[in-house]
Structure 1
Amino acid sequence: MAEPYGRWPSPISPHDLAALYRLNDVQWDADGQTLVWDESRGGHSLLVAQRQGDAPRDLFRDHALRPGVGYGGGAFGVGRGQVAFVAEQRLFVQPLSTGKPRPLTPAFGHAASPVFSPNGAWLVFVHTYEDHDALAAVPTQGQGWPQRIAYGADFYMQPTFSPDGRYLAWAEWDFPNMPWDGTRLMLAAWREGRLEVPRHLAGDKRTPIFQPTFSPDGRYLAYLAQDEEWDTLYLHDLEQGTTRPLLGDRCLMLPAWVQGLRTLAWLTPERLLVLENRAGFSRILLVGLDGSVQEHDPAPYTWLRQPAAALQGDRVAFLASSPLIPERVVVWHLADQRWETRARSAPENIPVAYLPTPEDITWKAPDGLTVHALYYAPVPAEQRSETPPPAIVSVHGGPTSQRTSAFNAQAAYFASRGYAYLELNYRGSTGYGRRYREALYGRWGEADVEDAVGLARILAERGLADPRRLVLLGGSAGGYTVLNTLARHPGLYRAGVDLYGVSDLFALDLDTHKFERHYTAKLVGTLPEAAEKYRAWSPLFHAERIRDPLAVFQGGKDKVVPPDQSARIVQALRRRGVPHIYKVYPDEGHGFRLPETLEDFYATLERFLLLHVVLA
């Protein structure tokens, strides 16, 4: 007799998910022969280097990469046979050939995105200390203290040198904006440790700029901008002082939640590569300076990130994955479009039959916008019955973010047990244009809940899931949507799963870190004028309406959504006798990384779903 949905035997265990490596970035050295990448093993991030024809090797094991500007990112930079990286609140420099890391800066503030000057004599990096951000420079031989070279803006990101060392470019922005709202592209002449007066080249309060990048010959500065509904690739001629668009009306940028993000790479002085996001699927675009565009399907991969071109322009490294392939470090050879695998994040020993592939489903929201979700059917397909399965609807965090066609271990874990699994890219998500992204502004807690409700109804109408056995799961901003949906629409979802979710908007606005200090005001409104809306859309003040079983998971060291936000929700559940579980992982922050945490989380969650959904 076949096992019921939710109890299918699966080859994917909690240990398998906990043991996955996380790949964060990949870069070439200036010679185009040595590849360096950042990988996390068991919550410990380190650097791995591989020279062409040689085996990969760990550059160190007694340091843990930990960039501390905002949400992190920009952990290292490579140049002239050496690597600079951030650990223990310091910058270190290490030769790629042989030799140990050498500290370059004191443990003062936090650093990110180190970039070598073309002659290797200087490092420029993003620095923050006591809420003051800046670009700083330090000699690589350690003979001087770091000095601020650009300051006055609230935030900085993506510093980059011209190949001849004449210029430095970067993006900066001010409150109340987030980097996807509006930034400025700045350019300044570099004078060995200092800058001449910067020029504001592009961008404003309504035009975000992303990833300024100089051409190999130093003549051009390419950058991405969202000056209308979609993104445009621009080219600034440094000799002529003119700017022209090369490619437009496409999704080319990422929301800069972290430092060091890239979607663009110069191949030669006449050609660039840029990644296009088509509703969560990657396309490779080769763009000539004459405006010509060659499009490539990256099969067998569906999602690429962090492109890095070798000096010769004949190879590009990526972090690549698909629903059937866990993320890898790969090199794409342009001559024959051949993919070469350099590193894997997983053993890749799960039979393909147990790995689901997503289907894009859409429906109309009340305001007329088309809402998007990725639907993963239970696998293997031959085990499905004619009755619809239980479904887990996952609501991503951010909320300015997107779930894509990248490998989704959590989807595979539950789909292989007989659940349908969905990723809801509700209004406010990126990847679908400016209007879609900004549809949540002033309506956080309203539009996202409408979309969670709309998806539940669509699943029932289309026979994609059993409407009596739906689960809503989300972390951070996604947890906020879970709590609001359960409070305002009791009984629609059979159970909820809240990971470090926001429950009190007042506390979030008062206690959050610098990067998001004005984010809640954009999403909900400015206090005190919007106090009534803050109370209306804070789940904490309506927790007495929650009656469906709820699992709450929290990191004990979370500084973004402090533990009190979860504890107060749990107190309300206890007072009313609502079925629930509450797990606090004392050594975790905002997001779970430790293997022991992940193993316990998935085992605990699966038991909760069996008791309150599958067997209820």
Structure 2
Amino acid sequence: MSSTPHLPYGTWPSPITVEAVGDASGSTSWPCGAGDENWWCASDPATATVRLLRNAPGHEEPVPVLAPGISVRNRSLGYGGKPYWVRAAEAASDSHLLVFTDHRDQRLYRAEVSRLGNAVEDGFPASVPLTPADPPDRETCWADPVAGPDGTEVWCVRETTRAVTGPHDADPAVRTTREIVAVPLSGAAADDPGALRVVARSHDFLCGHRISPDGRRLAWIGWDHPHMPWDSSELMIADLRDGIAGEPVRLLGGSHDATEVSVSQAAWAGPDTLYAMADPDGWWNLHRIDLATDRPTSTAIANVLPRQEDCAGAIWRVGASWFAVTPYGVVLPHGNGAQRLSRWSPEDGVLTELADGWSSFQGDLWSDGERILVRAADPARGSALLSVPLAPGSGPALRTRPKSDDPLASWKPLPERRTVYDAQGRPVHFILHRPTHPTASAPQGELPPLLVQVHGGPTSAAGVTADLEYSFFTSRGFTVADVDYGGSTGYGRAYRDRLRGQWGVVDVDDCVTVARALADEGLADPARTAVRGGSAGGWTTLACLVHTDVFCAGTVLYPISDPARWRAEQTHDFESRYVDTLVGTLPQDRARFDIVSPAANADRIKAPLVMLQGADDFICRPDQATCIVDNLAERGVWHRFLLFAGEGHGFRRADSVRRSLLAEVALYREVLGARIAPDVPLHADAPLGGHTDGP
């Protein structure tokens, strides 16, 4: 029997290659059903497109719905909204009706899609435009199509941005409008914009528009600058007359009487009853709203499921959905960190768990009343798209695809939810990924290098599965700690609000707290602790390198570095006032900006870093990265800068992910020693020195 090899942490051989990570870097989103078929969007790292896929019982292997080259996504809010709607084929029909947005021109299209099993082999449906092409001075995108009251239209959120005409309108907030618009399914509006009908207007931002079952009313969520929707947003309602909303009335939410309330979602339970997720008590809980029958006002609003745990998340995308009203009750996830998916009965208030063994559920849940489709995850089970039957006794939640054997399972850690406490006794939550290998182990007494991962948002949360990118490192002997720092969602408003006015302080302190706690526990080497993150996580990574000496290196992806310039015309409309909440307002808070800004304090960065940036990023523009890189170059600090042509905010191409990982390995070899990850070949295009170059 061969003995287990003792190899230093960080040098273990692993079959998880940069190519494997790049090929697996895609994601799934927006599940939907059409009869017994399951539909969803899947990003394809090989083509940098989003394919619309489907399967069904007996046809489990996914097949694409539309021809190659069509990318089913849109630019709504900068991060994309729900890009399609499908009406299932009726008994006498062989085809489903699909409406979708094509990223190439952002127009709305329709297609007649044959039932799965009836489609012509290797054939794809023809796409017919429903909305007009943009003139040169305007960009339009469409999100979250829903069926209109009479079935002849889809109603969408239309986002329109005028081109810049001068310094007076460089700010996207003055050039961007959003409306709920009816689009005829006949295609009449493709060449005639006059065939479109504006249904409703109310706020700078709109989402979640839903029509009452009797077609008399429209509900939606809106918010205005400078608020973000997780801070203050309003549930609106209006009567519909001839397909146009009357004067809207606020039912719930917003900033009133020195308080703020966020509404995440609303759904109809009947012509005069709405359910909504709102947080007047500090948690996104389920509220029932009873409406007057003769006017759009409420007669009663009640928190029907009061719990000190969140049952929804933050609105980052138009069309997000965390709960569904069904004939069997309201289905929703709930929990602090770890979640359960349950059905709540309005009759007796009982919660019945529906997906035993799963502990995380994404905010694009779909239901037809008889079943739920939801993306679920759990450390022990990985991730899957679940189909959950709702009728009592109808069976358990099932994967829509059978779980396949994972040849890399032995090299993947079992993620652990952990909580530590900062110097003030406040909790800091994180996910721990330990070094994992089927045969290798480290010499006794040695501590592993630690990578502190900082998620973006910053109003986001860490994942709970063995991410292959993390496993690339843990299988080689690294520890990874994915930190849900103050500001993260899933732990109530008070935890989110810890970051307000404290960006660059609380997030940094929480990352340091986790790093020191793991070192004190003997789970990480404090002298070999690095930090990594993208977008807002890139900000925190830079701030950690500026304001602390805890981290020996940093990997920074498409960051914010100068908050004074990451605002107004320097970013996109959705986040153009976000720094008002995170840092403060200018010019009165200039001193605070100067204190926390990594760009203003770049001279304090002594640790080597890798900077990775998309050339086409309009959310965090390349100059947010280059101002840091230029400073490091002037002072001779080791760094590597890669600017990826054709990439935006978040890398979609497998090759970009591969090159990013190679650059990161080069960084750790520079800082932690040449023996780090010796089985990863660094090619000529991934040098070890301090270089600035493109892909």
Query: Which TM-score applies when normalising by structure 1?
Result: 0.93
Question: CA offsets, 1:156-197, max 9 Å, x none?
Answer: 011112233232211111111101011111122334532233
User: What's the counterpart of residue 200 of structure 2?
Assistant: 150
Which has the higher relative contact order, 1 or 2, with Cα contacts under 8 A spaced 6 or more apart?
Answer: 2
Cα distance in 2, alignment partners of residues 305 and 559 from structure 1 = 26
Is contact 1:223-1:234 (8 Å) kept? yes
- 2:412 is the alignment partner of 1:355: yes
Cα distance in 2, alignment partners of residues 614 and 389 from structure 1 = 13
- Among 539, 559, 562, which residue is 2:621 paired with? 562
Is contact 2:16-2:408 (8 Å) kept? no
User: What's the counterpart of residue 70 of structure 2?
Assistant: 63
Other structure's SS at 2:628 match:
helix
Cα distance in 2, alignment partners of residues 389 and 90 from structure 1 = 51
Cα distance in 1, alignment partners of residues 11 and 466 from structure 2 = 23
Structure 1 vs Structure 2: percent identity of aligned residues?
30
* Of 510-519 and 78-87, the range deviating more from structure 2: 78-87
* Of 417-426 and 318-327, the range deviating more from structure 2: 318-327
- 2:84 is the alignment partner of 1:76: yes
- Among 313, 320, 335, which residue is 2:376 paired with? 320
User: What's the counterpart of residue 447 of structure 1?
Assistant: 506
Matched length: 608
User: What's the counterpart of residue 429 of structure 2?
Assistant: 372
Other structure's SS at 2:436 match:
coil
Question: CA offsets, 1:55-108, max 9 Å, x none?
Answer: 643221241123111121211122354221111211112223274221100133
| Residue type at the aligned position of 1:94 | A
- Among 580, 596, 599, which residue is 1:537 paired with? 596
- 2:579 is the alignment partner of 1:484: no
Shift of 1:443: 1.0
User: What's the counterpart of residue 525 of structure 1?
Assistant: 584
Cα distance change, pair 34–297 in 1 and its aligned pair in 2 (3 A): closer
- 2:33 is the alignment partner of 1:28: yes
Cα distance in 2, alignment partners of residues 50 and 8 from structure 1 = 39
Is contact 1:283-1:295 (8 Å) kept? no
Question: CA offsets, 1:391-443, max 9 Å, x none?
Answer: 10001111111113145222222111110001011111111111111111111
Cα distance in 2, alignment partners of residues 356 and 514 from structure 1 = 39
User: What's the counterpart of residue 268 of structure 2?
Assistant: 214
Is contact 1:122-1:192 (8 Å) kept? no
Cα distance in 2, alignment partners of residues 496 and 549 from structure 1 = 7
- 2:106 is the alignment partner of 1:89: yes
- 2:548 is the alignment partner of 1:494: no
| Residue type at the aligned position of 2:86 | V
Is contact 1:23-1:327 (8 Å) kept? no
Cα distance in 2, alignment partners of residues 141 and 191 from structure 1 = 22
Cα distance change, pair 536–312 in 1 and its aligned pair in 2 (3 A): closer
User: What's the counterpart of residue 583 of structure 1?
Assistant: 642
Shift of 1:253: 1.6
| Residue type at the aligned position of 1:85 | F
Shift of 1:382: 5.8
Is contact 2:324-2:366 (8 Å) kept? yes
| Residue type at the aligned position of 1:461 | D
| Residue type at the aligned position of 1:443 | Q
Is contact 1:555-1:584 (8 Å) kept? yes
Cα distance change, pair 350–191 in 1 and its aligned pair in 2 (3 A): farther
Cα distance change, pair 2–594 in 1 and its aligned pair in 2 (3 A): same
Other structure's SS at 1:393 match:
strand
Cα distance in 1, alignment partners of residues 492 and 363 from structure 2 = 21
Cα distance change, pair 382–296 in 1 and its aligned pair in 2 (3 A): farther
Matches within 5 A, 1:187-266: 187-205=237-255, 206-215=260-269, 218=271, 220-238=273-291, 241-249=299-307, 250-266=309-325
Query: Which TM-score applies when normalising by structure 2?
Result: 0.83
Other structure's SS at 2:341 match:
strand
Cα distance in 2, alignment partners of residues 343 and 125 from structure 1 = 31
Matches within 5 A, 1:539-554: 539-554=598-613
Is contact 1:266-1:309 (8 Å) kept? no
Is contact 2:18-2:658 (8 Å) kept? yes
Cα distance in 2, alignment partners of residues 444 and 308 from structure 1 = 31
Other structure's SS at 1:515 match:
coil
User: What's the counterpart of residue 435 of structure 1?
Assistant: 494
| Residue type at the aligned position of 1:327 | S
Shift of 1:359: 2.2
- 2:146 is the alignment partner of 1:129: no
Cα distance in 2, alignment partners of residues 359 and 555 from structure 1 = 32
- 2:461 is the alignment partner of 1:402: yes
- Among 4, 7, 21, which residue is 1:3 paired with? 7
Cα distance in 2, alignment partners of residues 251 and 67 from structure 1 = 28
- 2:213 is the alignment partner of 1:163: yes
Is contact 2:414-2:466 (8 Å) kept? no
Cα distance in 1, alignment partners of residues 468 and 381 from structure 2 = 10
* Of 97-106 and 303-312, the range deviating more from structure 2: 303-312
Question: CA offsets, 1:339-398, max 9 Å, x none?
Answer: 333248x97533322221222332323444211111111102763434221110001111
Unaligned runs of at least 5 residues, structure 1: none
User: What's the counterpart of residue 140 of structure 1?
Assistant: 185
Other structure's SS at 1:188 match:
strand
Cα distance in 2, alignment partners of residues 527 and 348 from structure 1 = 55
Cα distance change, pair 361–300 in 1 and its aligned pair in 2 (3 A): closer
Shift of 1:37: 1.2
Shift of 1:113: 0.9
Is contact 2:14-2:475 (8 Å) kept? yes
Is contact 1:285-1:293 (8 Å) kept? no
Cα distance change, pair 266–193 in 1 and its aligned pair in 2 (3 A): same
Matches within 5 A, 1:447-466: 447-466=506-525
User: What's the counterpart of residue 115 of structure 1?
Assistant: 146
Cα distance change, pair 354–218 in 1 and its aligned pair in 2 (3 A): farther
Is contact 1:325-1:348 (8 Å) kept? no
* Of 282-291 and 326-335, the range deviating more from structure 2: 326-335
Cα distance change, pair 311–69 in 1 and its aligned pair in 2 (3 A): closer
Question: CA offsets, 1:241-284, max 9 Å, x none?
Answer: 4333221222112111112211101231x5110011431x2201
Is contact 2:156-2:181 (8 Å) kept? yes
Is contact 2:84-2:100 (8 Å) kept? yes
Cα distance in 2, alignment partners of residues 59 and 309 from structure 1 = 19
